[in-house]
């Protein structure tokens, strides 16, 4: 598989122009081979701003929103981070490449297995991939210095995730219905609107 480093460098440069300033996130974007996490039929367009389908009704988020969400966590160095919705594994790889210790949970066992393999092959085998209900989080590894949700919660931020935050930590989560909503950041009781977004729904169970 070709390295495609030039495409990653160009993507990181575009993100810097669009306001991404966290050098750890930009370095991760330059280093993580996104094409390794995109299904073969879409691999040629892996560095386009497109949320490609990955099976089980799920998508790999467009790369800019992955970088934006990672930066919005405002992580300390070597943070423990929980990702809700593993999907392809790309978001977890970016967080790991940015220096975080990542736990990620996916409700679809097939996707979790594929993501675990892709992460291992790309050099991010230390990412802890779980199968389960994202609404419940992963309490045995809590508290987290950051939690990012990659699917749309309905009506409210999931209470269990709020409870698993460390003091001063941020939860970045889209909330809405019908695939449309708002990306919010929650930190120490303060909720901040970040931007309007489209995500697949966060399904319980």
By annotation, the residues acting in catalysis are 61
- Checking DSSP bridges between strand 53-55 and strand 58-59, what pairing results, if any? antiparallel
Phi–psi pair at 22, nearest 5 degrees: -70, 115
As given in the structure block, the two tokens for residue 145 are 């210095």
End-to-end distance of the chain based on CA atoms, in angstroms? Answer: 36
Q: Do the beta carbons of residue 118 and residue 36 sit within 8 Å? A: yes
Q: Do the beta carbons of residue 174 and residue 151 sit within 8 Å? A: yes
Place of tokens 């994202």: 134
């Amino acid at each position: 598989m070709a390295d495609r480093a030039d495409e990653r460098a160009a993507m990181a440069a575009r993100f810097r122009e669009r306001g991404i300033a966290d050098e750890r996130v930009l370095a991760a974007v330059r280093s993580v081979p996104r094409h390794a996490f995109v299904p073969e039929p879409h691999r040629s367009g892996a560095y386009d701003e497109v949320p490609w389908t990955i099976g089980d009704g799920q998508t790999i988020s467009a790369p800019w929103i992955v970088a934006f969400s990672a930066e919005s966590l405002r992580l300390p160095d070597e943070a423990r981070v929980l990702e809700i919705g593993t999907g392809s594994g790309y978001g977890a790889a970016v967080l790991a490449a940015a220096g975080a210790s990542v736990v990620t949970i996916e409700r679809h066992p097939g996707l979790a297995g594929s993501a675990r393999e892709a992460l291992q092959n790309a050099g991010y085998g230390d990412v802890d991939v779980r199968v389960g209900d994202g609404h419940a989080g992963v309490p045995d590894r809590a508290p987290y210095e950051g939690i990012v949700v990659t699917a749309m919660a309905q009506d409210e931020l999931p209470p269990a995730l709020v409870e698993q935050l460390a003091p001063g930590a941020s939860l970045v989560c889209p909330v809405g219905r019908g695939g449309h909503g708002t990306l919010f950041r929650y930190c120490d009781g303060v909720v901040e609107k970040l931007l309007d977004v489209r995500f697949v729904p966060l399904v319980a169970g």
